[in-house]
């Protein structure tokens, strides 16, 4: 069991650290609303604050409190789910700490100020739309959610064979 939680921390702490460090860098190096392209359109950097959730989803004046409560509940759920994850579910055991790190990274921003979550990667012009501005926590959550879906699908498929 101890090894199980050491693996969690070994994945969780670097992901959380990367999120917090890059947000700190963005706050000190970028100006709100001004886009820099240090390596051209491949890496647009624009400091932005998102008071909502993914794609600026929000609940009006109560968004901050709602997302703080939702994030705390989600974190507890992720920890319980990780605790109950069997050793054979390796991919699930890898992605849950990443999702948890992303959730905590954005929760820290919501708790520390009412500006919103620090975003700085983007926007990306996809030719048919502008991809929104995001951060490392969002990458951990999004990629983790996709990989978790794949992990659960593979686990279910193995169970039926």
Give, for 156, the enclosing helix (H) or strand (E): helix 136-160
19 in active site: no
DSSP state of 108: H
Residue pair 93/148 in contact by the 8 Å Cβ criterion? no
CA distance 8 to 26: 27
Tell me the residue ranges of DSSP E strands in 23-147: 35-36, 38-41, 45-50, 117-121, 124-125, 130-131
61 in active site: no
Residue pair 48/32 in contact by the 8 Å Cβ criterion? yes
Per the residue annotation, which of 19, 61, 125, 138 is the catalytic one? 138
Per the residue annotation, which of 61, 114, 119, 125 is the catalytic one? 119
Contacts of 161 (CB under 8 A, 6+ apart): none
Catalytically annotated residues: 119, 138
């Amino acid at each position: 069991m101890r090894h199980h939680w050491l693996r969690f921390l070994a994945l969780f702490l670097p992901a959380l650290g990367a999120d917090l460090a890059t947000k700190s860098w963005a706050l000190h190096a970028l100006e709100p609303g001004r886009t820099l392209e240090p390596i051209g359109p491949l890496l647009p950097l624009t400091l932005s604050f998102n008071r909502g959730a993914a794609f600026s989803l929000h609940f009006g004046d109560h968004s901050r409190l709602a997302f703080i409560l939702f994030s705390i509940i989600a974190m507890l759920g992720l920890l319980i789910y990780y605790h109950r994850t069997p050793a054979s579910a390796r991919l699930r055991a890898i992605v849950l700490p990443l999702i948890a790190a992303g959730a905590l990274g954005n929760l820290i921003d919501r708790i520390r100020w009412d500006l919103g979550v620090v975003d700085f990667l983007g926007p990306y012009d996809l030719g048919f739309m502008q991809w929104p501005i995001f951060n490392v926590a969002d990458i951990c959550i999004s990629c983790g959610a996709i990989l978790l879906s794949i992990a659960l699908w593979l686990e279910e498929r193995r169970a039926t064979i």
